[in-house]
């Protein structure tokens, strides 16, 4: 089945260029020029992935992401000219899966799109169910529960959690996690691992400041 990518950017030329490369790679593309229109398109088109600019009129990328994350966990790659670490961390904390600064190469964008969609649609492993304490992960159904409470995770958070739960007790370095979660598209991605782990702890730990499930091994990862 053809996968759909939603491009949200107020630069028409950039949307046209992204559309060209994505369609050549076999994706169906839909577009929006601002966050408000993007919410409407996302609700009706149900895209498999969203490429999201930050600085846009009417509704910026951050506000779109806040609203969209209340409705869906669709993978999101943020595209922006903002290069400050604060802006990157904010985007990731709001639920983005990746963050790319402009200008960027089209091949790099395609690699990230492929990597994230591969994670989001990967076939389940031999054992679909993973358990750790009260946490139960159904990899086939892409569901996470703590007791009877469902937990909504982004594809990147889900990939990190399943990687950690599949090897209980193992200490992973950042590079280990990058290679397992982002594959060949992990260039420039390293700082995001810490944010994704922090987000995961907020969602699954009863006391994120004193984590029981995801612990830090100092000097290792």
Does 141 or 60 have the greater pLDDT score? Answer: 60
Model pTM? 0.67
C-alpha torsion angle, residues 173, 78, 46, 119 (rounded to 10): -20
97 and 23 belong to one structural domain:
yes
181 and 136 belong to one structural domain:
yes
% the chain with pLDDT above 70: 90
Domain that holds residue 142: 129-204
Into how many domains does the chain fold? 2
Q: How confident is the model at residue 21 (pLDDT cuts 50, 70, 90)?
A: very high
164 and 112 belong to one structural domain:
no
**Residue keyed to tokens 């031999």:** 126
Radius of gyration of the chain (CA): 17
Q: Report the CATH number that the domain containing residue 81 is assigned in CATH.
A: 3.40.50.2300
Buried b (16+ CB within 10 A) or exposed e, 102-112: eeeeeeebbbb
75 and 179 belong to one structural domain:
no
Bridge-based pairing of strands 129-132 and 143-146 is unpaired
Query: pLDDT tens, 166-199?
Result: 888 888 888 778 777 666 555 555 567 888 888 8
> 100 with 77: CB under 8 angstroms?
yes
Q: What is the pLDDT of residue 185?
A: 55
> 120 with 162: CB under 8 angstroms?
no
Helices 12-24 and 106-121 pack at an angle, to 10 degrees, of 60
110 and 148 belong to one structural domain:
no
d(CA 214, CA 131) in angstroms, rounded, equals: 14
Burial of residue 127, with CB atoms counted within 10 A of its CB: 0-12 exposed, 13-18 middle, 19 or more buried: exposed
């Amino acid at each position: 089945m053809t996968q759909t990518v939603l491009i949200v950017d107020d630069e028409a030329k950039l949307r046209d260029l992204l559309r060209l490369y994505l369609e050549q790679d076999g994706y169906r593309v839909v577009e929006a020029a601002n966050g408000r229109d993007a919410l409407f398109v996302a609700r009706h088109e149900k895209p498999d992935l969203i490429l999201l600019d930050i600085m846009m009129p009417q509704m910026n990328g951050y506000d779109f992401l806040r609203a969209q994350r209340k409705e869906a966990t669709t993978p999101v790659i943020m595209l922006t000219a903002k290069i400050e670490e604060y802006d990157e961390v904010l985007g990731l904390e709001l639920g983005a899966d990746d963050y790319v600064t402009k200008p960027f190469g089209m091949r790099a964008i395609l690699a990230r799109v492929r990597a994230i969609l591969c994670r989001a649609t990967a076939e389940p492993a031999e054992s679909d169910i993973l358990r750790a304490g009260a946490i139960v992960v159904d990899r086939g159904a892409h569901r996470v529960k703590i007791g009877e409470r469902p937990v909504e995770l982004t594809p990147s958070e889900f990939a990190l959690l399943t990687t950690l739960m599949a090897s209980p007790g193992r200490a992973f370095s950042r590079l280990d996690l990058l290679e397992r979660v982002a594959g060949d598209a992990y260039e420039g991605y390293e700082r995001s691992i810490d944010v994704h782990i922090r987000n995961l702890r907020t969602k699954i730990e009863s006391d994120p400041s004193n984590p029981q499930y995801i612990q830090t091994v100092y000097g290792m990862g």
